[in-house]
A and B are shown apart, each in its own frame.
Chain A
């Protein structure tokens, strides 16, 4: 990637403003709340910055994570996610998706490689990165003993969203996820779909630049899934939020994501639009493309040696 312009986080003073900076909240530029105290006018690249496309909000280079002496869970990953895009991160169970998300979201330290999320290194400056993203985890992470409103309020206080902004934002988001009339109910009385919607609202409360959705539709019925992706698309369109998601429902990825990366055994085996992946594998559906790329064997949490050999063969055979 030599010669490419340096990675910069969304810079409101730049010639081309980022889409979100145009939205004003309470008379202030939204970036004020987004960057908080970490905001550096101009955001000039530092000497250690990674070179990635100008519009990359997430840039990962040679990222590796090893647990003990096991084969690496994440092995030399390099990829970038464009600002304002919807990016799907697909892979069989145990492929390294969650480990990668944990490293991007400051929950795990990489063994090697470099990461930039919204212009910051999650390992070196976790708080700056934490302010920049919202996340919906694979498993619920709400406090069941608090009401929906309290869960949101607590999140807002933790993220230092000023009270006036917080109040308004909570109203907006509750309306968006259609929970406004249930705001004073305890979360323990919510259905799985309602909890997911509330978590999405919470993840967006602090005006993040990126939202990570780790299998957000797992265990939900088709109606709820449909609605949920509807919200996500609208958010991406209206607020310019970059969406980074994982799923096992291939048709969801195909319909929603502009770009898809397929990871297996900790390595990226293919990257492109849904159509590009189908063309590359000569298949008609993304599901068929996914199986062609990652094989038909059922995975245990950690792939065996045989799987890795098979995968190596597939990778090399594609390079003739």
Chain B
């Protein structure tokens, strides 16, 4: 199966155009991170400081960025289900471009959107009082965000290829997306948690993304930058492979 750049380009362009147009979606998806920042960052901050763990707002800022990326990317990937219901999927399935290029285009488009959203949240955290340690860290952090966005967009595509309609949405939300977020160490430090929870976090790709962001934006992490990047890259390849397997076999 080959790659057709025009197919990749069209699917990417479509995602980006739809994102830029939906102002309400952009602003709406900033609401939840803002709420988390205020309620947890300011609310739990004093307790966190008393426990000798330092600035909680700074600690959860990378976690909140990660949250916004995982939600945006997975929902973008699941857009395929809507396209199936509204028929547009068929238009792409009978086009003379490989399904692999459709999959890659959509994944890239979703990742572009999610990275942009993550960057907006980063700006929001800075407004709320978060100070990243270095500009280089911020620049490299954007690359990590792109990796995370690719990873979860690909995961969204895998899910969408397996579901027939939006009925399973709640299931995915409550048994996959929420656990991925809450068990990742986005909201609590992983270095003092019980063994069991740490083990779970080690299987959660979001843990590595958030950890890498902490290394770059705060200057310290649990796993280390190299293992983080390796884990993220490896998982992207696995999800893309799974996605292309299921997506190319999907019946319209």
Chain A residues in contact with chain B, CB under 8 A?
A: 36, 105-108, 126-128, 130-131, 133, 135, 137, 139-146, 150, 154-155, 157-160, 202
A144 CA to B18 CA, complexed, in Å: 10
The listed residue with most A CB atoms (<10 A of its CB), out of B6, B87, B88, B91, is B91
Give min CB distance, A244 to chain B, whole Å. 14
In the bound complex, do residue A159 and residue B96 qualify as a contact, i.e. CB atoms below 8 Å apart? Answer: yes
Q: Is B195 an interface residue (CB 8 A)?
A: no
Contacts from B to A (Cβ < 8 Å): 6-7, 9-10, 13-14, 17-18, 21-22, 86-98, 251-252
Asked whether B87 lies within 8 Å of A140 as measured between CB atoms, the reply is yes
A137-B90 contact, Cβ under 8 Å, with A127-B96, A131-B96, A158-B97: yes
Pair A158/B92 contact, Cβ less than 8 Å: yes
Asked if residues B10 and A157 are in contact (CB atoms below 8 Å), the reply is yes
User: How near does chain A come to B207, taking the closest CB pair, in angstroms?
Assistant: 34
Nearest B residue (CB) for A130 = B96
Known: A141-B87, A145-B18. A160 touches B94 (CB 8 A): no
Establish whether residues A160 and B6, one from each chain, have CB atoms under 8 Å apart when the complex forms: yes
Assuming the A-B contacts A107-B93, A107-B94, A157-B6, are A146 and B87 also in contact, with contact meaning beta carbons closer than 8 angstroms in the complex? Answer: no
Contact A158 B88, beta carbon cutoff 8 Å: no
- Residues of chain B with a CB closer than 8 A to A105's CB: 94
Are B87 and A137 in touch, CB under 8 angstroms?
yes
Known: A106-B94, A158-B95. A145 touches B21 (CB 8 A): yes
Is A108 touching B251 in the complex (CB atoms < 8 A)?
yes
Q: Are A141 and B90 in contact (CB under 8 A)?
A: yes
Of the candidates A106, A108, A135, A140, the one whose C-beta lies within 8 Å of that of B86 is: A140
Quick check: B90 and A146 within 8 Å, CB to CB? no
Q: Is the CB of B93 within 8 A of A155?
A: no
Contacts of B18 in A (CB 8 A): 145-146
Question: When chains A and B are docked, how far (Å) is the Cα of A107 from the Cα of B14?
Answer: 23
- B86, A144: Cβ atoms closer than 8 Å: yes
What are the residues of chain A within 8 A of B90 when measuring CB–CB?
Answer: 107, 137, 141
Shortest C-beta distance, B252 to chain A (Å), equals 6
Closest A residue to B98 by beta carbon equals: A127
Inter-subunit contact A141/B88 (CB<8 Å): yes
Instruction: Kindly list chain B residues whose C-beta atoms are within 8 Å of the C-beta of A141.
Output: 86-91
Knowing A106-B94, A143-B14, A145-B21, the reply to whether A158 touches B6 (Cβ < 8 A) is yes
A142 to B94, CA, bound (A): 13
Kindly list chain A residues whose C-beta atoms are within 8 Å of the C-beta of B97. 127, 158
Residue in A36, A141, A144, A145 whose Cβ sees the most chain B Cβ within 10 Å:
A141
Instruction: Report 22 cross-chain contacts, Cβ distance below 8 Å, ordered by A residue.
Output: A105-B94, A107-B93, A107-B251, A108-B251, A127-B97, A127-B98, A130-B94, A133-B94, A139-B87, A140-B86, A140-B87, A141-B89, A142-B87, A143-B14, A143-B88, A145-B18, A155-B91, A157-B9, A158-B7, A158-B10, A158-B96, A158-B97
B185: shortest Cβ distance to chain A, in Å? 36
Contacts of A143 in B (CB 8 A): 14, 88, 91
Cα of A143 to Cα of B93 in the assembled complex, Å = 14
Q: How far is the CB of A110 from chain B (nearest CB, A)?
A: 14
Is there an interface contact between B96 and A135, defined as CB atoms closer than 8 Å?
A: no
Alpha-carbon separation in the docked complex, A146 to B15 (Å): 11
